[in-house]
Amino acid sequence: MSDGRIPVAVLGATGNVGQRFVQLLECHPWFRVAELVASERSAGKTYREATDWRLSATMPESAAGLMVQGYDADLQSPVVFSGLPGEVAGEIEQRLAARGHAVLSNTSTHRMEPDVPLLIPEVNADHARAIETQRKNRGWSGYIVTNPNCSTIHLVLALKPLHDAYGLEGVLATTLQAVSGAGYPGVPSLDMIDNVVPYIGGEEEKIEVEAQKLLGGYDPAQGFQPAAVVFSAHCNRVPVRDGHTECVSVKLANPATPEEIIETFESFRGRPQELGLPSAPPQPVIVRREPNRPQPVFDRDDAKGMASIVGRVRPCPLLGSKFVVLGHNTVRGAAGASVLNAELFKVDGLLPV
Ligand code: NAP
């Protein structure tokens, strides 16, 4: 039944990120969940039967009765949100883009490709211009646009205003990442309780290269030009359910005091805020002044999980300045980021509707 909203499909709908899409889109003013897609294990069942719902609020009734489809289904929705595992996303997302769908993906598979935008609307909305090149290169009527890794997005939301104001030269980031970032069932409980795991396969490399692409430029003739900022990341898995914390030291070309940096974070706004997009946090970077914040339990849901929460801004004897940033990994770190991209594209006339 049509209610004037744009029908959307969710790939990987039964997973951690897929469930978050279903939850965030439940009362969305512009989009309506029309099709849900998961593996053969789930296809042919209702969403309620197929899904082990693990979010804190009840499964939306509007989704519960929808029949889950398999990946070979002939999807009708012009907009497709993807929460597929990397191993299977490549071929499926490409097939849908070739058939004319706008594919907004959380998966790492296409993020670093030379004609695929990796987008944070507050940071590099102009990179969406690469869609035209992608369509031309690949002969597609649709396209693939990606959002970053769940640690990268919160790190870069905090770094962008500093880069614009003072010029970033180097960044050292140590993450304390929630268990939900590994999907479900993810890391075995016996590996997580009373423990910290100082290794997340591929994560450090993703943060380093994605951040350079996001903070860099785009020009149709030259393609993406990575920012000349040196990144070094340490990634750790910690026994937290949701919310990635990152301890960050930065070397600025033009050093700034903690007060100046706080003012720069708080005054930062991007296109989502200017346009008043439905999922845009009023302030993308929120500063906590208490000495012991941000903390995942208290701060991850601030601004409905769509903002990055910064605290402990102070001098760093090694690189100049340091701070802590925290963000929700499945809201702004995944599904919410794709939804915000789709909202921007609707306003910019980039959705195939
Ligand atoms: P997840 O909880 O493991 O869910 C995976 C989903 O994909 C499920 O719907 C599952 O369907 C389906 N699936 C699993 N194996 C499949 C296969 N072989 N063929 C087809 N479908 C298959 O994973 P997740 O945490 O939601 O992550 C999904 C994607 O988002 C990954 O690429 C991940 O890297 C990325 N991501 C995750 C986060 C996060 O914080 N979790 C953040 C950013 C990005 P069935 O239930 O039917 O098996």
Which CATH number is 6-148+335-347 given?
3.40.50.720
**What pLDDT, on the 0 to 100 scale, is given for residue 96?**
98
Mutate to test the pocket of ligand 1, among 10, 16, 24, 52 (most ligand atoms within 8 A of CB): 16
Whether residue 146 has its Cβ less than 6 Å from ligand 1: no
Centroid of ligand 1 to alpha carbon of 292 (angstroms):
33
Q: What is the pLDDT of residues 133-181, one digit of tens each?
A: 999 999 999 999 999 999 999 999 999 999 999 999 999 999 999 999 9
pLDDT band at 1 (very low <50, low <70, confident <90, very high): low
Could you say which DSSP state residue 331 is in? I
Could you say which DSSP state residue 62 is in? H
Centroid of ligand 1 to alpha carbon of 183 (angstroms):
6
Whether residue 90 has its Cβ less than 6 Å from ligand 1: no
Tokens of 291: 């000495």
Dihedral, CA of residue 72, residue 78, residue 79 and residue 84, to nearest 10: 10
**What pLDDT, on the 0 to 100 scale, is given for residue 184?**
87
DSSP 200-242: -TTHHHHHHHHHHHHHSEEETTTEEE----EEEEEEEE-S-SS
Catalytically annotated residues: 150, 244
Q: What is the pLDDT of residues 2-41, one digit of tens each?
A: 789 999 999 999 999 999 999 999 999 999 999 999 999 9
In this model, does residue 334 exceed pLDDT 60? yes
pTM here is: 0.97
Q: What is the pLDDT of residues 229-288, one digit of tens each?
A: 999 999 999 999 999 999 999 999 999 999 999 999 999 999 999 999 999 999 999 999
Segments making up each domain of the chain, as ranges: 6-148+335-347, 150-328
Whether residue 243 has its Cβ less than 6 Å from ligand 1: no
Starting at the earlier edge strand, list the strands of the sheet with 79-82.
Answer: 68-69, 31-37, 6-11, 79-82, 102-105, 143-146
| Ligand 1 atom with least separation from CA of 89 | 32
| Ligand 1 atom with least separation from CA of 51 | 46
Q: What is the pLDDT of residues 176-206, one digit of tens each?
A: 999 999 998 899 999 999 999 999 999 999 9
Mutate to test the pocket of ligand 1, among 106, 155, 156 (most ligand atoms within 8 A of CB): 106
Closest to 108 in 3D by CA, of 82, 131, 78: 82
In this model, does residue 213 exceed pLDDT 60? yes
Q: How far apart are CA 251 and CA 142, in angstroms?
A: 40
Q: What is the pLDDT of residues 46-62, one digit of tens each?
A: 999 999 999 989 999 99
Which CATH number is 150-328 given?
3.30.360.10
